[in-house]
Chains A and B, each alone.
Chain A
């Protein structure tokens, strides 16, 4: 079995804060699976995903993504960045550009620098972008400006941009938190389905256990920056989930309550 991401004894504290966002995390994400990162707000889900995307500096431990080690002190080499695609919680689209432009932005890391600067896609780039749009069910929106779209449509554009990148690992940060339950199911089905069709690994975060159960083969529970459980979906029991979301108790040794 090959491995998409390997994490050993990872700790990270956001600059300017005292409490670690991630503490002694060790994980193995097998390649080709859809994995859910489940946990309450502030558990460290976004931090872990951003770290795997190579965007955080100053952590300790060992992390390798798609077979290459990450350096805690400098960003990964630019040629490797397109291999991991990121779907941002707030879409992170260029609002004033068209849908097609936004999806082609996912190709920029795959183009030679001058071509990327000029923004002149090859026929191959266009073909990939159009296929991604079609997969996301928004082929007919290609010419529309993003600021004229609904939230669900925007999330589809964001996923299409990620797919156009041809990533081998798809990291999605709460991809459905802003959508109603029906839309949320559609989007997660789209995301995990597209990953499976491409042989890519999908790691998505969520705070909704039912969605994680429906769309992930493996579920990792995270709370207070620590891994609470890491199990194949069928083995996840109610007690573990309930414990993940229990009321915050006084933090030992600090005399403080996180929720007062």
Chain B
């Protein structure tokens, strides 16, 4: 009990220390925020009213973002099926699933925007680097989810099929897959939602989609047009979430 209390103090001290350190070293001058009042008002004023003439760009950008998310998710699913199997303790030996899980953790640790920048460098501007980046980044999470879905099923039917003479892949197909299918559907839809949200900003680094227009309009001080694109993004995110909530309900 005494040890716990000590742990509590230590944690509080650590958090307080981290906050003080952040204020002390970063160039955070709160006075700048105070004096910036009129400038912020001016900035907001220039965003209103949003310019509706950019509808064509919004449509084009949204469609491209949607395509990046769909194809990126497809790529992630294709990569995650074998990697998910190789990361599952039900299907492979420890010597296989441990390194594969570590690899997946590394993939997850690389932010999407960083992957996208590297891919733009590798294959050039446009939606292709975006698709590759989303597929790569999403695999880190999706393959882990698939492995957990495999390991989460009831073991008894697997043993029963093994006793009946079924091999590992046949057991995966007929004992594991029917049990995990709804989990896989839910996880994939969830990851698609994340992919769509995350790919909205990919255009900022030149990897295609609606983010390109946000960046273009902000850089050229056309804040009213940037505002329209922002509204479109918000509407898209809300729509995706509504659709996904409805879809996920079907799989519970």
Q: A125 contacts the other chain (Cβ, under 8 Å)?
A: no
Contact in complex: A113, B179 (CB < 8 Å): no
Interface segment, one of B58-66, B143-151, B166-174: B166-174
Q: How far is the CA of A107 from the CA of B117 in the complex (A)?
A: 52
Bound: A81/B165 CA distance, A = 5
Task: Please report the C-alpha to C-alpha distance between residue A135 and residue B216 in the assembled complex, in whole angstroms.
Answer: 73
A53 contact set on B, CB distance < 8 A: 163
Count A/B pairs, Cβ under 8 Å: 80
Q: Per a CB cutoff under 8 Å, which of A55, A93, A95, A117 touches B173?
A: A117
A113 touching B167 by the CB < 8 A rule?
Answer: yes
**Nearest Cβ distance between residue B186 and chain A, in whole angstroms?**
14
- Bound state CA distance, A95 and B155, in angstroms? 12
Q: Can you list 19 A-B pairs, Cβ within 8 angstroms, ordered by A?
A: A54-B163, A78-B165, A81-B164, A82-B165, A90-B156, A92-B159, A92-B160, A93-B157, A96-B179, A101-B174, A105-B157, A105-B161, A105-B174, A106-B164, A108-B164, A108-B170, A109-B166, A116-B166, A119-B173
Known: A96-B179, A116-B170. A108 touches B165 (CB 8 A): yes
Question: Is the beta-carbon distance between A94 and B166 smaller than 8 angstroms?
Answer: no
Find chain A residues with CB under 8 A from B170 CB.
108, 113, 116-117
Residues of A within 8 A of B120 (CB): none
Contact of A78 among B167, B173, B174 (CB under 8 A): B167
A11 CB to closest chain B CB (Å) equals 23
Interface flags for A75-102 (1: CB within 8 Å of B; 0: not) read 0001111101110101111111100010
A165 interface hit (Cβ, 8 Å): yes
Determine whether B154 belongs to the interface, using a CB cutoff of 8 Å to chain A: yes
Q: Are A95 and B179 in contact (CB under 8 A)?
A: yes
Interface centre among A55, A108, A117, A161 (most CB of B within 10 A): A108
Q: Which residues in A have their C-beta under 8 angstroms from that of B166?
A: 105, 108-109, 116
- Indicate whether A55 sits within 8 Å of B179 (C-beta atoms), given known contacts A108-B165, A109-B164, A109-B165: no
Q: Which residues of A contact B160 (CB under 8 A)?
A: 86, 88, 92-93, 105, 161
Q: Are B156 and A108 in contact (CB under 8 A)?
A: no
Residues of chain A at the chain B interface (Cβ within 8 Å): 53-55, 78-82, 84-86, 88, 90-97, 101, 105-106, 108-110, 113, 116-117, 119, 161, 165
Q: Which residue in chain A gives the minimum CB-CB distance to B171?
A: A108
Contacts of B169 in A (CB 8 A): 117
Chain B residues positioned under 8 Å from A108 (CB to CB): 161, 164-166, 170, 174
- B-side interface mostly: helix
* Distance of A80 Cα from B163 Cα, bound (Å): 10
Instruction: For A55, give the chain B residue with the smallest CB separation.
Output: B163
User: Most chain-A Cβ atoms within 10 A of its Cβ — which of B161, B170, B179?
Assistant: B170
Complex Cα distance A85/B179, Å? 23
Extra pairs beyond A105-B160, A108-B165, A116-B167 (11, CB < 8 Å): A55-B163, A79-B165, A81-B163, A84-B163, A88-B160, A94-B157, A101-B174, A105-B166, A105-B175, A116-B170, A161-B160
Give chain B residues whose Cβ lies under 8 Å from the Cβ of A91: 156
A-side contacts of B162, CB under 8 Å: 55, 81
A residues in contact with B163, CB < 8 Å: 53-55, 81, 84-86
Among A92, A117, A165, the residue within 8 A (CB) of B156 is: A92
Nearest A-chain residue to B175, judged by Cβ: A94
